[in-house]
Amino acid sequence: MKEIVLITGASGLIARELSEILKKNYIVRFLTREKKHENEFEWNINEKTIDEKAFEGISHIIHLAGANISEKRWTDERKKELISSRVDSADLLLQTLRKKNIRLKSFISASGINYYGTKTTDKIFNENDAPGNDFLSEVVVLWERAADQFKEQHLAERVVKIRTAVVLSDKEGALKKMLPTIKMGIGSALGSGKQYMPWIHIKDICSIYEFALQNSSVDGAFNAVAPQHTTNKNLTEKIAGVLDKPLFMPNVPAFVLKFIFGELADALLEGSRASADKIQKAGFHFEFPDLKIALENLLKK
């Protein structure tokens, strides 16, 4: 009999792609703000309401809910929303599991590669390194702390935290935002262009979630990042190359980005490398470890 997996963040890119993979071997349910399909159940984080029918017979939760980091300027109100959408949503799940006396086989939570801080350094961060000290690292630390509660309170046999890099997809996200200007021949790198951009192909991030779900030995934090490192400038050049477009415009000045995006600009102008060794040593194999091949797969269709 198929196990039941409950996924939050139903409208997100990863949730949609991942569900198509999992439905072959699992019964997939979603928590969503507005029910539209039979396998969807409503919840409201602000009002702390949830359809408890979603929890009947479940073995796993994949927690992908969280407001988009780069969608809006980081006002004080937006910062609270970014944290609440991750932490309060996890707490609502935890309280419901406790109320219904359910113990999961696994609680698998999205997390962020910005755990290590938004800064450009020569260091390649691994899962044993300490968190950074900026806003994004604070978000991730609180996010992971909320996830750890499921194991600490004996509501899940294991907790997996997927520290996700920039997800490359032709449907939405960073790559899609970069494409219009590059296609018009006016694309350019951001700031110095030397900032590292940890990245991962959409198929590989979904495969990591499937891998974590299927392997009971996978526990704790894992960097979900391709093993090949790149900078913002190199990524921009690789995209232009795959599309056969010129790159002659000067880099977008940092002060312009800071004027437009405020504090959020730091996430665009800074970035470090992260190691993929731990997930690979656990037995995971990347389908797209090479950036050029990943871009060709996404853009040459």
Average pLDDT over residues 269-297: 96
Q: Does 184 map to a domain?
A: no
Per-residue pLDDT band for 44 (boundaries 50, 70, 90) equals very high
Q: Does 261 map to a domain?
A: no
Across the chain, mean pLDDT equals 93
Whose CA is closest to 31, among 53, 5, 54, 13? 54
Contact 252, 189 (CB under 8 A): yes
pLDDT tens column, 207-228: 999 999 999 999 999 999 999 9
What percent of the chain has pLDDT above 70?
100
Q: Does 247 map to a domain?
A: no
| Predicted confidence (pLDDT) at residue 254 exceeds the cutoff of 90 | no
Q: Does 256 map to a domain?
A: no
Quote the pLDDT of residue 197.
94
| Distance in angstroms (rounded) separating the CA atoms of residues 109 and 112 | 10
Quote the pLDDT of residue 144.
97
Per-residue pLDDT band for 255 (boundaries 50, 70, 90) equals confident
Q: Of 80-89, 124-133, 261-270, 284-293, give the lowest mean pLDDT range.
A: 261-270
Whose CA is closest to 140, among 109, 166, 174, 94? 109
Q: Does 242 map to a domain?
A: no
Quote the pLDDT of residue 186.
82
Quote the pLDDT of residue 301.
67
Quote the pLDDT of residue 216.
95
219: containing domain: 3-167+201-225+274-286
* Other CB atoms within 10 Å distance of the CB of residue 20: 10
Per-residue pLDDT band for 266 (boundaries 50, 70, 90) equals confident
Q: Does 250 map to a domain?
A: no
What is the DSSP secondary structure assignment for residue 75, as one 8-state letter?
Answer: -
Q: How many domains does the chain have?
A: 1
pLDDT tens column, 89-121: 999 999 999 999 999 999 999 999 999 998 888
| Predicted confidence (pLDDT) at residue 166 exceeds the cutoff of 90 | yes
| Predicted confidence (pLDDT) at residue 252 exceeds the cutoff of 90 | no
| Predicted confidence (pLDDT) at residue 185 exceeds the cutoff of 90 | no
| Predicted confidence (pLDDT) at residue 206 exceeds the cutoff of 70 | yes
Average pLDDT over residues 124-135: 95
Q: For residue 150, what is the domain's CATH number?
A: 3.40.50.720
Q: Does 83 map to a domain?
A: yes
Q: Does 263 map to a domain?
A: no
In degrees and rounded to multiples of 5, residue 217 shows phi and psi of -80, -10
